[in-house]
């Protein structure tokens, strides 16, 4: 494959207020100056998502915290973030990270995990004492209120209503949170928020407080887009669900735009990145003219069911995308430029960002296909760092390019970028001004895959898309959680970060060890490239035998593969929602099954 993304990694993430919490907070039990409460945030039958929240109820700061609890036999922690979690038998211990151990009086912090089984924690201890602090002994915190509904939305206001929470001692009032910050405390189950900005997205949750002043878990979140402002949210939902469509997929893979329809995937996505346009001579350029706008599709290959003719103005993938948008008008299409192979051209582009932006605008808005595209995506691998080639354009180059693109494309077009996920100390995230550029982009596609692979021919074997760290990980900071935490730490809003999913596996051969960390003799055989294979092949040729760090792995014969399955995608989507991320994207459509089971896993869980 000519343009395979190769991303690197990031940092364990500070948890934002969670949306969509289910279940009740466990009864508080008593560290003299702090409390800890557990909430089950999601449940998919064979496993669940969990969150512990530690609150300093004393008058002096806490410098560190340790939470301990017991699970019944058959229930365990499979991955965790924002804490170092270890288990011994049925006993589990979570210790703070270096960045979240200190709690000022009244402050709180949360950490989360994914679990296997269906049990609930018991015998909670916080810093060696019981978890209930000095609150009313045995008094349970309130339940989560119902997810708010929004009505009477105007340019500057919205009315919110929700169903009541329950509590054994009675609910006193409700805190209304906008984008995670409290904006009001009310005693009723409705509130009108005013003073908002027209044409802006907001997220609201509600949490109850009982007569003992204990705060329960947050409700589910409702997204609100105020009227006016010249923009509207995608009608299919508030989360971005984006897939890459490769121009070359119509050749050996025989994957056409029509396959998005027959697989059912078109009905479950919001955006498509068409990959890739070239970057050369400081300009945006056509990648493959035959595939893009010249190839004649037969009736059975065409979205419309009508064959292309020799004299029609536009053929190729562009015309097929036009037909797709006619059937699914909610889908937005972006033209992605660069990629692994063509990122070397960005160095020249960065020398004159305005001229580069003008060339891109002229190409994307060419009258022959201007109606096909809704914006531009920049896939620069990597600004001021090394990918297939090394770039030395400087830390400010990426920001300058994105600023010029936004100025040229304006507010009515989408401007996005694929980014590294290397959150290691001194890694690629630190090489460019991603924080400064964030003001100009609608979102970043954080390439949270290809952390590890058979380019290290002798191993060690490792999941190529780990959600969190784990014992024995080959390189610290090379996880999804690390990447997202690092972007957030430098000031990139969570809603502008999309989690990435690979629709393929990476693998080694000559492996005898089932668990990750084994040695190998080289890359496993793949259909199109050594060491890589589509999910649709691996699901039957080498079924998953285990899970590590939120990603499946499989040992069959002498081959060892790692890849995402519908089950691991479900847990990653739950994590993404809990982190407040803007959605998810994937590389790329043709790796999925003919009925689009991976796209469905993203859509149904996001």
Q: How many CA atoms lie within 13 A of 566 on its CB side?
A: 15
Residue intervals in the chain for CATH 2.60.40.290? 34-130
Using alpha carbons, select from 232, 226, 256 the residue that is nearest to residue 318: 256
CB 176 within 8 A of CB 182: yes
The per-residue pLDDT for range 357-372, each reduced to its tens digit, is 999 999 999 999 999 9
CB 79 within 8 A of CB 468: yes
Rounded to whole angstroms, how far apart are CA atoms 342 and 391?
12
Residue intervals in the chain for CATH 2.60.40.10? 149-220
Residue 3 has pLDDT above 60, yes or no: no
Residue 109 has pLDDT above 60, yes or no: yes
pLDDT at 80: 84
pLDDT at 133: 66
| Structural element, H or E, at residue 400 | helix 397-409
Query: Regarding beta strands 443-446 and 497-502, do their DSSP bridges make them parallel or antiparallel, or are they unpaired?
Result: parallel
End-to-end CA distance of the chain: 29
Cβ contacts of 367 within 8 Å, gap of 6 or more: none
Residue intervals in the chain for CATH 3.20.20.80? 241-502+564-605
The per-residue pLDDT for range 275-290, each reduced to its tens digit, is 999 999 999 999 999 9
CA dist 598 to 53, 79, 452, 510, Å? 32, 21, 21, 29
Q: In DSSP terms, which residues pair with 2 in a beta bridge? A: none
Least confident of 310-314, 379-383, 419-423, 551-555: 310-314
For domain 149-220, give the CATH superfamily: Immunoglobulins (2.60.40.10)
Pick 345 or 28 by higher pLDDT: 345
**pLDDT band, residue 420 (cuts 50/70/90):** very high
Q: What is the DSSP letter of 230?
A: T
The per-residue pLDDT for range 122-172, each reduced to its tens digit, is 889 888 888 876 443 345 678 889 988 888 888 788 999 999 988 877 888
List, by residue number, the catalytic residues.
Answer: 381
**pLDDT band, residue 32 (cuts 50/70/90):** low
CB 316 within 8 A of CB 291: yes
| Structural element, H or E, at residue 358 | helix 353-364
Residue 307 has pLDDT above 90, yes or no: yes
Residue 44 has pLDDT above 80, yes or no: no
Grouping H, G, I as helix, E, B as strand and the rest as coil, residue 183 is strand
Task: Quickly name the fold that domain 34-130 has.
Answer: Immunoglobulin-like (2.60.40)
Whether CATH 3.20.20.80 fits 241-502+564-605:
yes
pLDDT, mean over the chain: 88
The reported pTM is 0.64
Residue 49 has pLDDT above 90, yes or no: no
C-alpha angle with apex 12: 471 to 569, nearest 5 degrees? 80
């Amino acid at each position: 494959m000519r343009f395979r993304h190769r991303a690197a990694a990031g940092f364990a993430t500070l948890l934002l207020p969670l949306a969509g919490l289910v279940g009740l907070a466990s009864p508080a039990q008593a560290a003299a100056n702090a409390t800890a409460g557990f909430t089950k945030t999601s449940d998919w039958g064979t496993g669940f998502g969990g969150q512990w929240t530690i609150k300093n109820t004393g008058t002096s700061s806490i410098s560190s915290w340790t939470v301990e609890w017991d699970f019944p036999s058959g229930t365990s922690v499979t991955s965790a973030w924002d804490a170092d979690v270890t288990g011994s038998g049925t006993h589990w211990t979570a210790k703070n990270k270096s960045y979240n151990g200190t709690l000022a009086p009244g402050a709180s912090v949360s950490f989360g995990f994914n679990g296997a089984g269906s049990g609930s924690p018991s015998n909670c201890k916080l810093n060696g004492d019981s978890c209930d602090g000095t609150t009313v002994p045995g008094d349970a915190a309130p339940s989560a209120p119902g997810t708010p509904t929004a009505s009477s939305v105007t340019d500057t206001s919205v009315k919110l209503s929700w169903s009541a929470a329950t509590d054994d001692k009675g609910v006193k009032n409700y805190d209304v949170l906008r984008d995670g910050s409290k904006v009001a405390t009310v005693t009723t189950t409705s509130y009108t928020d005013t003073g908002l900005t027209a044409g802006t997205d907001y997220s609201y949750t509600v949490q109850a407080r009982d007569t003992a002043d204990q705060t329960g878990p947050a409700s589910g979140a409702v997204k609100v887009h105020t009227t006016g402002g010249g923009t509207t949210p995608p009608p299919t939902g508030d989360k971005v669900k984006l897939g890459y469509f490769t121009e070359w997929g119509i050749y050996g893979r025989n994957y056409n735009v029509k396959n998005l329809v027959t697989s059912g995937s078109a009905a479950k996505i919001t955006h498509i990145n068409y990959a890739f346009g070239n970057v050369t001579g400081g300009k945006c350029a056509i990648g493959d003219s035959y595939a893009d706008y010249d190839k004649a599709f037969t009736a059975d290959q065409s979205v419309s069911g009508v064959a292309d003719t020799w004299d029609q103005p536009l053929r190729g993938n562009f015309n097929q995308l036009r037909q797709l948008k006619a059937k699914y008008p909610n889908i937005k299409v972006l033209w992605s430029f660069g990629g692994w192979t063509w990122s070397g051209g960005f160095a020249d582009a960065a020398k004159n960002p305005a001229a580069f932006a003008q060339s891109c605008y002229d190409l994307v808005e060419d009258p022959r296909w201007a109606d096909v595209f809704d914006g531009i995506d920049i896939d620069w691998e990597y600004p001021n760092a090394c990918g297939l080639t090394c770039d030395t354009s400087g830390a400010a180059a990426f920001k300058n390019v994105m600023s010029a693109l936004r100025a040229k494309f304006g507010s009515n077009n989408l401007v996005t970028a694929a980014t590294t996920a290397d959150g290691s100390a001194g890694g690629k995230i630190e090489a460019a001004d991603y924080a400064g550029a964030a003001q100009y982009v609608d979102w970043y596609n954080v390439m949270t895959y290809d952390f590890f692979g058979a380019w290290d021919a002798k191993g060690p074997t490792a999941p190529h898309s780990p959600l969190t760290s784990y014992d024995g990980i080959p390189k610290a900071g090379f996880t999804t959680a690390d990447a997202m935490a690092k972007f957030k730490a430098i000031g990139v809003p969570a809603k502008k970060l999309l989690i990435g999913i690979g629709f393929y596996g990476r693998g080694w051969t000559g492996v005898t060890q089932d668990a990750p960390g084994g040695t190998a003799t080289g890359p496993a055989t793949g259909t199109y490239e050594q060491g890589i294979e589509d999910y649709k092949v691996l699901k039957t040729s080498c079924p998953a035998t285990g899970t590590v760090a939120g990603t499946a792995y499989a040992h069959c014969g002498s081959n060892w593969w790692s890849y995402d399955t519908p089950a691991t995608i479900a847990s990653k989507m739950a994590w993404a929602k809990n982190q407040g991320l803007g959605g998810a994207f994937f590389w790329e459509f043709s790796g999925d099954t003919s009925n689009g089971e991976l796209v469905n896993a993203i859509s149904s869980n996001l």
